Amino acid sequence: MFRPKYPPQDTAPPATVTVPTAYTPAPVQPSVPASVPVAPASNRPTVQLTPGSALALAAGGGAMVLVVGAVLVSMLLAVAITATSVAVCALVIRSILNAERNR
């Protein structure tokens, strides 16, 4: 029950070894300059910014900058608070170890 079951031995004939033949390059065709296709003119209208949409776009960009800045500042503040707490813990542990040595 717990003995492994091996598959039967491979009975396929051995693979034959093929010898590569000499390389014969294909004949080179003379290149004919092809004409470059021109893209058809688009039927879609171009985007035109009105003063109101330009103002909305600028306000959206400004809001995005403020949000990204607030996130980055909060992350920097979190790192600074963590570093300060680790430094305070290191000082407390060092003072405890020094008090034990002096006894």
pLDDT in tens, 13-32: 666 767 767 777 777 776 66
CB-CB contact of 17 with 25 (8 Å): no
Q: How many Å apart are CA 90 and CA 73, to the nearest integer?
A: 26
Q: How many Å apart are CA 18 and CA 10, to the nearest integer?
A: 22
More confident residue, 100 or 19: 100
| The pair of three-digit structure tokens given for residue 43, joined into one six-digit string | 């039927």
More confident residue, 60 or 37: 60
Q: How many Å apart are CA 12 and CA 46, to the nearest integer?
A: 68
pTM for the full predicted model: 0.45
